[in-house]
Amino acid sequence: MVESLLIVGLGNPTQKYEKTRHNAGFWFLDELAKRESLSFESIARFQGVLATTVLADQKVYFLKPMTFMNNSGRSISAVSRYYKIPLEKILIAHDDLDFEAGMVRLKRNGGHGGHNGVRDAITSLGGADFLRLRIGVGRPVSREEVLSFVLKRPTAFEREAIVAGLQFVADQFELLISGKINQAMNVLHGQR
């Protein structure tokens, strides 16, 4: 039986949010879609847009939840239940305030780190044992500015750095889908 993987990019739907920092997870899926010639289809029962392909002898599903960030888990859990994809075969890409713009890190398990999309995913999936691709978008000066910061566009310099980081991850995508997570971590975490 062919194994299945679910690659999720977190973001907010609608053109209003398309170029904001909070949509870095969507940008990652857009980069993969460009490289793999994927086309997304809106599927109502999943409350998201989905693309599928076979890579490294595995069926790979690419999901952008269209539920808005705070309810991302609904869409993710609907896809994982329908296709019987276990937690350890899910990767969720999301923006992260703990890293400078363009820095990317992989992490398995752990808390939500204050990210509402990850928080909802953990709740809806009933566990945290999934892989996270943490995409650095920088950090505002004060905590009070966090919401407005992630819902604004990055500067041109930051955007360039984030895109370069996402391209770097996409270059290592074969390691990720082949299950060579430690090797992928070594490459990504050695990034400057």
Across-strand partners of 58?
3, 55
Question: Which H or E run contains 53?
Answer: strand 48-55
- The domain total for the chain is 1
Per-residue pLDDT of the chain (192 residues; tens, 9 = 90+): 578 999 999 999 999 999 999 999 999 999 999 999 999 999 999 999 999 999 888 999 999 999 999 999 999 999 999 999 999 999 999 999 999 999 999 998 888 888 999 999 999 999 999 999 999 999 988 888 888 999 999 999 999 999 999 999 999 999 888 888 889 888 888 865
Whether 13 contacts 185, CB under 8 Å: no
Whether 136 contacts 145, CB under 8 Å: no
Q: What is the CATH number of the domain that holds 21?
A: 3.40.50.1470
> What secondary structure does DSSP assign to 129-150, as a single string?
-SEEEEEE----SSGGGHHHHH
Question: Which H or E run contains 107?
Answer: strand 104-108
Alpha helix stretches (DSSP H) within the chain: 24-36, 72-82, 116-125, 146-150, 156-171, 173-177, 181-189
Whether 108 contacts 129, CB under 8 Å: yes
Report angle CA 98, 16, 23 to the nearest 5 degrees. Answer: 30
Q: Round to whole Å and give the CA distance between 180 and 99.
A: 23
Give residue 89's pLDDT: 95
Show the domain range for 175.
Answer: 3-189
> What is the token pair recorded at 96?
């992260």
Catalytic residue among 22, 94, 112, 115: 22
> What secondary structure does DSSP assign to 55-79, as a single string?
ETTEEEEEEEE-S-GGGHHHHHHHH
22 as an active site residue: the answer is yes
